[in-house]
Amino acid sequence: MTIRRQLKLGAVLLGVGGPGQHHTWLDPEIPGDASVDIRWYIARAQEAEAAKFDHVFIVDSQFITPDSPHHYLNRLEPLTLLSALAVHTTHIGLVGTLTTSYNDPFNVARRLASLDVISGGRAGWNVVATGDGGTAGNYGRAEHYDYATRYGRALEHVRVVQGLWDSYEDDAFPRDKERGVFFDPTKQHPLNHIGEHFSVVGPLNIQRSPQGQPVIFQAGDSEEGRDLGATIAEAIFTHAQTVEQGRAFAQDIKARAAAKGRDPDHVLIVPGISPIIADTDEEARDKERAVRGGKDFHRALKELGRPFGWHDFSRYDLDAPFPELGDLGDRSFRTQAERIKKLARENGYTLREVVQHTLDSRRSPFVGSPRTVADEIQRWFEAGAFDGVNITVNAPSEFARFTGGVLPILRERGVVRDEYEATTLRGNLGLPIPRTSTRPRA
């Protein structure tokens, strides 16, 4: 029997806001305090679970100014949020963002292992190295780590966390009341890691979790980001603009993973998408025009500053050539910053034209009736442009158009599952449970 490859499904739960979605909080369906309302998150997670989604996904940021987007200003800490969801769901995966730049590996390891134990094996870690340089000021540093240090720390951090997750063998706790044996100390292994960025003795203070190890998610499009993803990631959150770009990205990542001796099927490409769905294609295009018309040029001008460390672009003449920015952005979201500089340079764009381009480039490739959107998703999936998608969840009625309109079509075609295959995230994503490390122990 051949197991048919099926599309993986993630739900990005934002509360209010999201990139270019400044006005979602005005939606009458969305409570203004959705970003901090645990009942809102529980309801959306349960809807996603009823639709057999693989996971919910919680993004994060930790640098705040008076101008920050709505969901930056006021949000729940990702793992605190996910632990509450864990006990109101039974099958859906719980993927949370934690930065390797401003967390200790011991804390990260035990918090994720605890979530994995509480949820019965549904935890995932979205590894980020933090792009917002201003975050440094909240953690006692005058300056953000430079790019190479951030990525060096990220790799070592993940390896330390994974080593701590191997502190106990699966059968280290017999808890045999008749024989009076709670624990087998020969199956506890300290880590004794001494590295460039971290020194951690271990062992961890929690048993090996149901998945063996929580699933590693990662994003990052730079050379360093792709290399890190190919090294550590089991699922990669990216962007999808065209099927050709998507396929090229997927092939590049999978080839890199294979070159590192990994099974490329165990690195899933799952871009974030925001489909726009209506009863007919025409209505969907009208809806898209309305959404785009509602986008705020001045908000986009502010958001343009983010990759450059929240640089203030309002100080420039909109109709003069795009300003010279030197190495601004090198310590923030460098790849995005470089792409914008290149765009302006190659096209001779003014600042206004660059902002307009960013507004246009946020157009969703998935616009139409449920059948059109289902067709397009299937086309990308079968072309190898992605292994799954992360759907941004805003208004519940819009999410229901996807779960109730698009998914039944894909389900009938066998593209998405009818029923969960497993109770763990790893099991549903088709990822193996890692063996405990066999390296020599101290």
104 a known binding residue?
A: no
| 1, 2, 28, 348: residue in contact with its own copies (rule CB under 8 A) | 28
When asked if residue 358 is in the footprint of its own copies (CB under 8 A), the reply is no
151 marked as binding residue: yes
The letter for the amino acid at 332 is: S
Q: Report the residue number, 204 or 391, with the smaller CB distance to its own copies.
A: 204
* Residue 33 touching its own copies (CB under 8 A): yes
Q: Which of 1, 143, 148, 177 binds its own copies (CB under 8 A)?
A: 177
Q: Report cis status (omega within 30 of 0) of the bond before 203.
A: yes
* Binders in 199-238 for its own copies, by CB under 8 A: 199-207
Q: Does 62 help bind its own copies (rule: CB under 8 A)?
A: yes
| Interface pick for its own copies out of 5, 29, 43, 87 (rule CB under 8 A) | 87
Which of 128, 103, 135 is CA-nearest to residue 310? 135
| Number of residues in contact with its own copies under rule CB under 8 A | 65
**Crossing angle for the helix pair 38-50 and 78-86, nearest 10 degrees?**
60
263 in a labelled binding site: no
Q: Which is nearer to its own copies, 98 or 267 (CB)?
A: 98
36 near its own copies, rule: CB under 8 A: yes
Q: For its own copies, which stretch binds (CB under 8 A), given 131-139, 147-155, 224-232, 316-324?
A: 131-139
| Beta carbon nearer to its own copies, 185 or 261 | 185
Q: Are 36 and 27 in contact (CB under 8 A)?
A: no
Among 67-75, 254-262, 331-339, 353-361, which window interacts with its own copies (CB under 8 A)?
Answer: 67-75
State which residue, 75 or 226, has the beta carbon closest to its own copies.
Answer: 75
Site membership for its own copies, residue 18 (CB under 8 A): no
Shortest distance, CB of residue 413 to its own copies, whole angstroms?
37
Read off the tokens for 335: 């790849």
CB of 299 to its own copies, least distance (A): 12
Residue 326 binds its own copies (CB under 8 A): no
Among 40, 57, 106, 313, binds its own copies (CB under 8 A): 106
CB of 233 to its own copies, least distance (A): 23
Nearer to its own copies, 104 or 421 (CB): 104
Q: Return d(Cα 205, Cα 367) in angstroms, integer.
A: 49
- Between 311 and 417, whose beta carbon lies closer to its own copies? 311
Q: Would you count residue 185 as binding its own copies (CB under 8 A)? A: yes
**Residue 360: which residues within 8 A CB-CB, separation 6 or more?**
none
Residue 168 annotated as part of some ligand binding site: no
Distance CA 83, CA 119 (A): 8
State in angstroms the smallest separation of the CB of 81 from its own copies. Answer: 7
Which part of the chain contacts its own copies (CB under 8 A), choosing from 97-105, 257-265, 280-288, 408-416?
Answer: 97-105
Which tokens sit at 110? 């035990």
Segment contacting its own copies by CB under 8 A, of 198-206, 330-338, 366-374, 377-385 = 198-206
Rank residues 173 and 349 by Cβ distance to its own copies and give the closer one. Answer: 173
3-state SS of the chain is: CCCCCCCEEEEEECCCCCCCCCCHHHCCCCCCCHHHCHHHHHHHHHHHHHCCCCEEEECCCCCCCCCCCHHHHCCCCHHHHHHHHHCCCCCCEEEEEEECCCCCHHHHHHHHHHHHHHCCCCEEEEEECCCCHHHHHHHCCCCCCCHHHHHHHHHHHHHHHHHHHCCECCCCCCCECCCCECCCHHHECCCCEECCCCEECCCCCCCCECCECCEEEECCCCHHHHHHHHHHCCEECCECCCHHHHHHHHHHHHHHHHHCCCCHHHCEECCEECCEECCCHHHHHHHHHHHHHCCCHHHHHHHHCHHHCCCCHHHCCCCCECCCCCCCCCCCCHHHHHHHHHHHHHHCCEHHHHHHHHHHHCCCCCEECHHHHHHHHHHHHHCCCCCEEEEEECCHHHHHHHHHHHHHHHHHCCCCCCCCCCCCHHHHHCCCCCCCCCCCCC
User: Which residues participate in the annotated binding site for FMN?
Assistant: 60, 97, 151, 222
The footprint of its own copies (CB under 8 A) covers: 16, 25-26, 28, 32-33, 36, 38, 42, 61-62, 64, 66-68, 70, 72-77, 79-81, 83-84, 86-88, 102-104, 106-107, 110-111, 114-115, 117-118, 134, 137-140, 168, 173, 175, 177, 180, 182-183, 185, 188, 198-207
User: Which residues participate in the annotated binding site?
Assistant: 60, 97, 151, 222
